[in-house]
Every structure is written in C-alpha cells, then in structure tokens.
Structure 1
C-alpha cells in the first residue's frame, strides 16, 4: 500500500544541501530506499510503502549533521550513512564525521568519508609503515598528503618527502623537453596538487628550496636514509620489486611512510612483476606494518567513477 510523508526542513539552505546539485542526492536516496522523493520549497515529500518511507526518514535523519547547517552532501555520504544503518554503526558514523583531519585553504573541512577510509587514517596514525591499495578516486594519496602536511606543520617531522616512479607511458623521458626536473614534473603533478590544497604555492616553493618539502622521482631515493621524515610513495604498483625494497629500506628513525597504489593500473611491461604486489605477499603479516584496502564504495570523486570502477571489476571477473 502506497503512503506518503512530509519532512519540513528548517530553511531553504537545508533543502538545497539535502537535494544536491541537480537533485542528485534525492535520486540517490530514492535508489537506496525505493521511495519517491519530491522537494517542494522546504518540504520533502516521501512516497512509497511504509517500510520504504521509514528507511528513507531514517536515512534523511542520519544526514541531518550536513543539511541542518547547509553543508554539501555527497553520494558517498549517503552510501556510508546507509551502510551505518544496515550494520548498526551509527555511533561509529558520528565518530567518523567528528574526526576532522584538517581544513584546506578554502576553509573546507577534510575528513574520511567512509569507514574503510577512516581505518586507513587510523592505520597511518598508529603505524610507521602503511600500505593502501585501492582503485582510482578512493582518496589514497589525498588522505596521506593531508596527514603528512598536518604532521609537518605541527613539527612532528622535519621533512615531507613525496615520491613516485617515473614510468614511461608511450614516450621516453629523453624526448620530453626541459631539464630532468621538468621532465619528471608531469609524473609528480598529482602530489603537487595535493600540497596546493593546504599550503600557499609561494610557501611551497620556499619549503622546497629549504629541503623541508621534497617532491622527487623514486630514483632519487637510492642510497639515502630518510630520518625525521614523513614519506609518501605514490603509484607504487609501477615500482619493480627491487625499487620497492630499496625505498622501504630507506626508512630511518622517527619517520613514517605511506605506500599507495592500484594493482589494476600497472604500467610496467607485461613480463615485469609489480613491487607492490610482491611486497604485499612478503610483508602482509609482518608486525608493525598495516595493509589497508579500499574499494569502489570508497570512491569519493564523481559518482560516475564508482560505476566505471565497478564495470571494470565485473569485466575482469569474466
């Protein structure tokens, strides 16, 4: 039997926040609950069976921390809230939302969006070496950079070192214009982008000149001992086993390292084993090392990215 219920939101800002861009949030809520949602001004009309309406009301209520204050709600926020309801983890959901990692230069709060992202954050906080493996868009590098910058700014470490292998994708470095640093900069661009979220570009240049922030290709790590540093190795699936062993054994005293990668996006030659895959087999049970795994449910980019990741996962099973 079809029923209906109306939820009156406190103001137009709350209504806009709950509806989302092009009412995408209402579509997601409808898909998650089976109910039909229509927003009329500040009134949300919910139509469906009694169970559908009850679930939808609980889900809208669990998002109140966002829409009550006019904060934007993402697809991932809704899915995480639904997961919390299904698994009776509402208290844990409140802890997740209350754990603000940092604020970016625009003043936006940065926090883990999903339970597995929060497990990743907790692992980085409590382990000297953390591996995070997952598909594109799950926040692997971004969350590591957030924690690294905050640790640097609070003087927990003297240096922040960001590195990744410069794997050639169809063109050789020798044919690219510029000196060596200019040749490898395109490979390191994602790491620069993460830094710019929190530090003024002028300050980044100053920190790099003083050696406090270092963004360099993996080859620059050979022969060094990385002490009093927070180290992020990005795109680790493109390391060879020898390169991975090399960088892991650079870890010095009072240092922390985060290794991120996506085993489904390896750019190495077909015959070459991935250093990330090999280290996973060798180190997964070693005490003091954390392995975190993110999946399509942790994608925090455009909702379409979730569907792309899911489609590829399904294709690779066949």
Structure 2
C-alpha cells in the first residue's frame, strides 16, 4: 500500500522515509491457526488491506515483510488475535478491523481486553464490546450510577445496555429490569391501529423485546414480566414512581421533552442504575419542540456520578455501509447547519 493511501492513524510519510523494509518470521499456534487466518484466509486478507505489509503463510509459519514499523504493528495484532482465539472466541474480519484500530489508537490498549470481555453468554453466543468506544461505554456503566449512551444507529447503545442489565440481574446487583422509551411516531401515524392500548404501544417497544430475547430464553421472559422482574413500558408509565433496586434503561431518549427527561431522571431510587440512550440526529418530536436529550447534556455535564459516553460511526457494528451512511449524513448536516 502506497503511503499516500494510508489508513487513518497510520504513520506519516516522514516516518516511512525513516524506516527500512524488513522481513520477520512469526509462528502461529497450530490449534488456532485457522481461527486467526479465517475461512479461506479472509482475516489475513483484511489484515494485509489495513496494514501495508505482505504476509506469506505456510502451515503455522508466517513471513511478514514491509516497513519495520508496520511489521511490528502486524506482529502485535497477530499476538492479540491469537490470545483471543486461545480463549475460545471466533475471529471475524470485523474482529481484525477492530483489532487494528485499537492497536493504532493514540492510546493503544490490549485488544484482548476490549474484544474478549464477555458481558453475558447464552447458547454459545457471547455479547461483548466490539470497539474501543463500546468498551469505554460498558466500563462507564460499571462505574457510574447514571450513564448517557449517545451515538448513531447500530453503535450498540441499547443492545449493550440491555446486556449489562441482564448481567446485573443474574449477579443479583439489582432485583428487576425496567425498559422504557417514549411512544413517539417516527413519521408514521399509528394512532388509528386497531387493538387495545397495549397492542397499540407494542410496536414502539419491539426493539427492547428483541434485545431481551437475544439474552434471555424467550420462554422465560413472559414469566419474568408477570412477576415484575422485567418491565417493558412506555415512558409515561414512569411518572410518580420511585425505582429502587432496579436497572432502568430509557431508549430513544432524543424523543423526550425536557420535562419528560427531568421526570425520568428523578425516578432514580436506592440501589438503582440508569442508562439513557439516544441519537440526537434522529429526533422525531414535532417541529419546534426541544429534545430533552440535547438539553440534558448541558445541564448535567460535570455532575458527579453522571457520565456521557459518546459513540461514533466507527462504533457501528452493522453492515459496513451503515457507517458510511452515518458519516455522509453527518457531513451533510454539518455543511447545511
């Protein structure tokens, strides 16, 4: 890869001019070589696309050629990927991309500490942070009573929060989980749908049910809801309550009014933890109505035991195109603001 086409975070042209081209031998663990390299070497191809080196593998022996700085970086990435494989984790092309980004970050951290930190696991499927931003978000939930997870669609705001709630319930840190979101229409008019009040509200809460079903046996969820251990309800149902010993998640918080946001935050009871998630670029409130999420960032910034976790397009773990769509919309809105 020519230096002028370097990836973000790679060394500058000046550094390339000071380096020499070298070759290093590297040994892959026989038990995990296929996990690290991927199906048809797809992980290896991603690695070579992201770092300007050539990696030739025969059996468990690899020869890495390129600028000395990049060879050292490649070896560090491979060390981390092998450590993850040894823990029994599957390594995907996305895992490789995230590993390279973490190693390249201005304050590099251990890839295994970020990508191999399981929150919960069910039927062999583990929920864990997949980016450095997600790991910082999860850590903030552990260390603060109220956390705001702000970021674009697909960045894991709600999914990771629900995983932390289930983890807290399993470890008996809390006795119940409360999931809520404002019943605000995203352009569609649903008010004239037939059915009971609960049936009308259900579409708004469906994403929360979906996240729960990924982490708890679907057959158990109705029993937990009947007993009050899990509650999924519109934000309006929170008024007048004090939520003790609970893990409370407010989703789609960009669609709260300032009064609703204050009402929700003041429901905090003893032994409770709150996570508020939202994307301030997707507000569905009527024109002219202020978003409570936008305002609360100014009101509570700097308040002890309250943390604002900012997730970005690089934290999106859906289809790669979603990140590019998010970036394109952000650029358009900044240009036209």
C-alpha deviation, 1:109, in angstroms: 3.0
Q: Distance in 1 between matches of 2:133 and 2:123?
A: 26
TM-score by length of 2: 0.83
Aligned to 1:152: 169
C-alpha deviation, 1:38, in angstroms: 6.0
1:115 counterpart (117, 132, 156):
132
Structure 2: gaps (5+ residues)? 1-19
The Cα offsets for residues 113-166 of structure 1, whole Å up to 9 and x where unpaired, read as 233322222221222211110111111111111111111122222221000111
The alignment status of 1:285 with 2:306, answered yes or no, reads: no
> Which of 13-22 and 303-312 deviates more?
13-22
Aligned to 2:288: 271
C-alpha deviation, 1:279, in angstroms: 0.8
1:126 counterpart (143, 149, 153):
143
TM-aligned CA distance change 1:256 to 1:2, over 3 Å: closer
User: How many residues align structurally?
Assistant: 316
C-alpha deviation, 1:6, in angstroms: 6.2
Is residue 14–residue 69 contact of structure 1 (8 Å, CA) maintained in 2?
A: no
Q: Distance in 2 between matches of 1:20 and 1:264?
A: 37
Q: Distance in 2 between matches of 1:296 and 1:21?
A: 27
> Which of 22-31 and 42-51 deviates more?
42-51
1:215 counterpart (225, 232, 244):
232
> Which of 285-294 and 43-52 deviates more?
43-52
The Cα offsets for residues 211-264 of structure 1, whole Å up to 9 and x where unpaired, read as 111011111112222122110000111111121111111112221110001111
Q: Distance in 2 between matches of 1:317 and 1:170?
A: 23
The alignment status of 1:61 with 2:72, answered yes or no, reads: no
C-alpha deviation, 1:315, in angstroms: 2.8
> Which of 55-64 and 188-197 deviates more?
55-64
Q: Distance in 2 between matches of 1:284 and 1:85?
A: 30
The Cα offsets for residues 157-215 of structure 1, whole Å up to 9 and x where unpaired, read as 22210001111133333222321212222221111122112211121100101111101
Q: Distance in 2 between matches of 1:23 and 1:299?
A: 24
The Cα offsets for residues 25-67 of structure 1, whole Å up to 9 and x where unpaired, read as 3343123212245666666565544544443233222211234
Q: Aligned-residue CA RMSD in angstroms?
A: 2.7
TM-score by length of 1: 0.87
Aligned to 2:52: 34
> Which of 293-302 and 209-218 deviates more?
293-302
